[in-house]
Structure 1
Amino acid sequence: MSFSEIEPRHVLCLLGGERPFSELCEMIQSAIDRFAPGFEIDYTFSEAAPDDRMPMSFDVCWDRVRKGAWTDADEEAVSDHRSVIYVLGPPMTATDAVKTSATALRLVVHSLENGIAAAKGESAGVAHGVARWRELARDAEGQTGAALARPCRLAFAKRPIGTTEHLYSIGFHLNGIPDVYVPRSVSDDELLLSAIIDTVAEELFSGGIETVLARRGAKLLPVDGYDEDDFKYNPYGAIHLAS
């Protein structure tokens, strides 16, 4: 089910290290030609110079659920970056979202191994350190179905995001599923609520939306926190769990 005809896209933010900008673009384009069809470098916003907004941007985006998701060395790499390259993924349907996200993950890790110093997924605003990106790629290698969806979701979705009433996820649309909203009344422990969000995501792949709604007494509602032209917008809506 979709609340919109909008098809989600990956936006990858890749920070260059010492290797020249032109060489990094050639490396990324070569990788796109070899294994990431439909991806493209966004030359409009990419630049062969540091962006002084990046340290704060990454600080907001670091994954704070996974212990050790980034290190001091990763923060230093962001501070010392010398260029910024944005890569756009192809529009995705719910059917091909996991496969496309696996390709995005492979492209991120390939770039990190060839001169890119740091990476984040803009379509949910989530960043990991180099070691964590590599770990997620290893977890995805050779997998299919739900086993592939899990590392792709952990790579490109952020949780928990908070409002006064809920903690929720952003980025599950990149796996072709609704985001998940958990009432704060369930617990004061944000890590526990994050675990609930992850559990519901696993249930969506194993049993489907209708099963999850019935089992948990939840509701599927459209997402109204983002405009349809925002890369964070989830056309598949959000599952609101009961208190």
Structure 2
Amino acid sequence: MQPSSVKPRHVLCFLGKDDSLLHPPKAVAKTIADFNFEIDRTYSQGKPDPHMERSFGVSWDRVFPNAWSATDEAAVANHKAVLYVLSPPLEQQKSVAYSAAALRIVEEMIEAGATAVKGESAGVAHGLARWMQLAAECKAAARTNQGLAVTAAMSRTCRLAFAKRPLGGNSYNESVGFHLVGLPEVYVAKSRGSDRDAVKLTDEIADAMAEHGVDASLRERKLALSQGSQYADDDFKFNPYGIVRIEA
């Protein structure tokens, strides 16, 4: 497969109860700047966005049990401000580190009063409690006997935070957002089983790629990378690392 020159970016969407959301506390602003993320002043706004209820409605993570609550839905419905935060373009080998940084920003923004959060790049939302759980798991996954490091467990946590699966296509149950941790998408033929079966296999293959490398994992399973993405290369959902298709 020919490599793509496209570099993924995180787009984080935060909702708040007033326009103070647009001016994060100095400590949070410093975290955003230190990680080379930036606030998007063009699309952030100190007023409600009437599309947010529908946008979050189709984005909630429906795999993890109780990933959001009625309180989270009410926060979306009653929001009064929207803030977007963008990552720099991600180098593949640094994707997990930047996704961990994105989770840190999410954590600090929630602590500063953000009432709802969505990962815009893949269209995935969790409730505040789940976001905080993922942030804590990411920190724990970074701790090794040799100190802090990027680990396969961290990659998995960031993937669960910022990618979505399964999306039902015509023939496959698809993932979207794996490029945010430097991995290709995984598409599982619908004829192989249920949505839950597809999630299990998708996660199994993604975990293997994160731990052992993409090439080695695909060789072991006699799988190949392909391109043919349904997303244009200027779409935040476009994965420059390709697609692994699991046929029937």
Query: Could you say which TM-score interval applies, normalised by the shorter chain?
Result: over 0.9
Cα distance change of structure 1 residues 19 and 45 upon mapping to structure 2, 3 Å threshold: closer
Q: Which residue of 2 aligns with 1:53?
A: 51
| SS in structure 2 of the partner of residue 3 of structure 1 | coil
For 1:170 and 1:117, how far apart are their aligned partners in 2?
Answer: 25
Q: TM-score, normalised by structure 1?
A: 0.94
Q: Is 1:219 aligned to 2:224, yes or no?
A: yes
Shift of 1:2: 6.3
Q: CA RMSD in A?
A: 1.6
Q: TM-score, normalised by structure 2?
A: 0.92
How many residues are aligned here? Answer: 240
Moved more, 140-149 or 110-119: 140-149
Q: Which residue of 2 aligns with 1:163?
A: 169
| SS in structure 2 of the partner of residue 167 of structure 1 | strand
**Structure 1: unaligned runs, 5 residues or longer:** none
Q: Which residue of 2 aligns with 1:198?
A: 203
For 2:156 and 2:21, how far apart are their aligned partners in 1?
Answer: 33
For 1:50 and 1:19, how far apart are their aligned partners in 2?
Answer: 10
| SS in structure 1 of the partner of residue 65 of structure 2 | coil
For 1:93 and 1:30, how far apart are their aligned partners in 2?
Answer: 22
| SS in structure 2 of the partner of residue 197 of structure 1 | helix
Shift of 1:3: 2.7
Letter in 2 for 1:233: F
Contact 1:70 1:128 (C-alpha < 8 Å) held by counterparts: yes
Q: Which residue of 2 aligns with 1:39?
A: 37
Contact 1:48 1:84 (C-alpha < 8 Å) held by counterparts: yes
For 2:240 and 2:158, how far apart are their aligned partners in 1?
Answer: 18
| SS in structure 2 of the partner of residue 96 of structure 1 | helix
Q: Which runs of 4+ in 1 moved over 6 A?
A: none
Contact 2:22 2:83 (C-alpha < 8 Å) held by counterparts: no
Shift of 1:108: 0.6
For 1:68 and 1:241, how far apart are their aligned partners in 2?
Answer: 29
**1:105-136 deviation per Cα after TM superposition (whole angstroms, max 9, x unaligned):** 01011101111100000110000000000110
Q: Which residue of 2 aligns with 1:16?
A: 16
Cα distance change of structure 1 residues 184 and 231 upon mapping to structure 2, 3 Å threshold: same
Q: Which residue of 2 aligns with 1:97?
A: 95
For 1:67 and 1:2, how far apart are their aligned partners in 2?
Answer: 38
**Structure 2: unaligned runs, 5 residues or longer:** 143-149
Letter in 1 for 2:31: A
